[in-house]
Amino acid sequence: MTNKTKTQTHTPGPWSVFAMGAVVNAEGVAILISDKIPIDERKANARLIAASVDLLEAARVAYDRLEKTDYDGNNGEEMAMLRFAIAKAEGK
């Protein structure tokens, strides 16, 4: 599982949190905003969503590194968690 072979289908990052909990892409286009939930929860959700592109890339890199160095099989649980999270983010 190498990050260089994955096709990106999501809105490219970086994403950031804008006023009132909107998530915006690098061009300033809003990806998500909702006024149906309290502002503090909206901002917390926006921070998590904005970090998701970076978190997915970090998970791919961590998985690749573990896969190359897990000679004794001691990282199976961590690798399974990473595989699950990556697959979930990729819609698999």
Model pLDDT, residue 4: 46
Residue 46 has a CB neighbour count (10 Å cut-off) of 23
Is-contact 65 75, C-beta < 8 A? no
Where are the chain's structural domains? Answer: 12-89
Per-residue pLDDT of the chain (92 residues; tens, 9 = 90+): 544 445 667 777 788 887 777 888 888 888 766 778 888 888 888 888 889 989 999 999 999 998 888 767 788 888 999 999 999 998 88
- pLDDT score for 40: 87
Q: Give me the phi and psi of 16, to 5 degrees please.
A: -145, 165
Task: Indicate the pTM of the whole model.
Answer: 0.74
